[in-house]
Structure 1
């Protein structure tokens, strides 16, 4: 009943908005111009007086009389015909009939084929309907509403976390995985999922927290593929491409043929080998890796320092000639940090960001890597 009452009011308002202008009588084209006619008649009388006194030539007087007569006719000398008066009335009648017919016809059709008695279905009721009939957004909204009322439901966070990751909502996925681990306990899948969400939220850089999550996943399941893949990626970021290649090769050999990880591992392996092959023809020393610096620890201090200085200087010179080498910049910065030359490490960081572009993907990964060493750009 309320629906019909509101619909009637709306229909009445819309109909009146159209009918009122139609009901008003249009202004006559032959308005009352009696004042103008009286003026023109006075002009005729004055013209006759001037002509009688000889002030105006007869031919000029005739032309003036003709012009004043035309003005009198235009001002309303002729009455409108019956046909002219009847056209606006016919048009208004047809318009009124059309305006009234539209709501009557539409109401009749709705009463015949519509569902006026169907109750409204607000958001909460839609969320409570059968999940098989709900969209993905409605399912997520339902889960979020449930978790807002029951934040200690670890199972709910566990279900929602991977959905957030698939939708690219990585910050929310990190929160969901942390809650699931806190409430449901640590598992290899949850830890690996947390590490992946942290990595994606950080623009693809495996941060220290993400690395710890992946390492914890391998403690719980030594064959966890996601953790292995991202830890190999972390080796690349740490300036250890050879170790990353070995890790990916071992992983690829151990994966079953139907594993979904075979393709991404193979692609990463091929890309890294191509990058190494492309840089093998560059001049200059390749620069010290972490293993080189660790191996030098057993040498005499003078020999060790000389060896490291030579390699670092060679890497620095190589990067001046070919600055588009993100892994090289990472090795250089790490070498300076290991040597305790923080100012030169920060200067190398600034140079690397300028060369790679601070807003590029390589630049952001380089900056994130530097923060794991306790460095930040000067600007």
Structure 2
């Protein structure tokens, strides 16, 4: 009812405004006075022409002009005080009101929806996010689902899908939190609990922390053959130095799984690592082991192959002593050291690299990934998930020597370069890298970065123009 009253009021106001010209009082002036003023103006113009032609003198002109102006003022006063004639057109005004009102209501009835309730701001926001999510924007999907869980926190499906979406973005902390709500709403369904426990593990740098281990054990009690729970419980044993127990569990999981099962690559990788730790011939564990797996397990096909690996290790150590900024060489060094059974040395090499690149989270993540692939997270607890330099790190930087500060900056720049290798379409990253090399007075690398960036954006005139502008600004335009 209130809606229709509001519509009626607005329609009335608009219609009356349109009808106003037809209801206003108008004044019709005297035709004689109007005509007289026009004649007087013409007379003044004529006098001016006569004066200019020399037909009358200046005094005559002034006297005649004053007389004409007096008559003009008199006519103007008569014009102002002349009685007006009221001209109203009420019929026309009424017609305008009726037509405007009928047209407004007709259009609303045709195109509007009187039964539709008002759409709250939150709902409009969710509709926009939903449209973006349908377009494949994963971040918009996360935002959309997060809004839905706020609106309806008891909806299991929303929490479950939100946990999956966060996991796809590798935001495992938020994924675990979403799965926690899903666990509560599902009454601790094993399939939901195992996803929750896995998210906790991944959020802790692939460490099976006590909370995750308890959850995996809970799953096993209800679903003894669950492959994910079995895999991570074996990993928990490896991370507590129970290599024999971990190997036995992974071997059992391998025997009971199809070769094409999605978890088999991880299982085979970890069996290979356990064989290396325990100095067991991998062929006795994996008769179908590939050459790459045998190599990672330390099984050398030729007698001189180990010597070649040791020679390469020595070469890498020399190179890294001269140029310690090559993080890929650190990973290769650790990989080769692990191959010949020097697991603790390999772990120490990665620790040295982590310390070198502690200001470069992307590279630290790569180093942790290499450690997990080699099973070295079982030798030594993995570093926590990289977050970049802490406030204490920044405060300590002020007391560093110039050389130490330079090393910290170098690490950050190398981290940026490594990230661009993974995502070469980041124009802002390339511009930052080029400028960073310039600040470090490394013109050669700045030019190389510029050339590489050009190849990635070939044909994109807008981006290339940005690169050229940057190059020109720092004096490396080519």
TM over 0.5: no
TM-score (norm 1): 0.44
TM-score (norm 2): 0.37
